Amino acid sequence: MEHEKYKIPQISVFIENKKGRFYNTTRVLKEAGVNIRAMSLADTMDFGILRFVVDKPEKAYESLLENNFIVKLNDVMAVAIKDECGGLSDLLKTISDLDLNIEYMYTFVNNLDKKAVMLFKFEDIDLAIDKLLKAGAELLDKDYFTKI
């Protein structure tokens, strides 16, 4: 299916809100030879959720499990926009006009491409891929994150 190439594997790690836990997560990835491409950290009083897009998602997942982390693998999608004032606002208007529900998002800037990359978790990723492709959005495929 054409949609599968636009589903970017994301690693979510649930960690205690304690000194050193964030470091230990990145240490495991380093030792496994996994490079982090994008990351988000959300926290509460007792725990945090680290979300990673990496160059080797299966290796990251296995390595974190082997080191007793609570880890989940799911899909997000990546949309490239011009890295300029209003780029995100324009994309969010398109998403709103298409009646798509965003669960969360995070971003990074790739200066080589002069683009900002928005990573989205949608309520229905297949519907979002279909609608955004038809709207002319620049979706990135999962191979993008192994090349940058």
Domains of the chain plus CATH, in order, are 4-75 (3.30.2130.10), 76-147 (3.30.70.260)
Residue 79: is its pLDDT beyond 80?
yes
Mean pLDDT of the chain: 92
What was the pLDDT predicted at 112?
65
User: 15, 47 in Cβ contact below 8 A?
Assistant: yes
Q: How far is CA 91 from CA 76, 100, 102, 113, in A?
A: 16, 12, 12, 18
Predicted model pTM: 0.88
Q: Please determine, for residue 1, whether its predicted confidence score (pLDDT) is greater than 70.
A: no
Q: Quick one: how far is CA 109 from the chain centroid?
A: 13
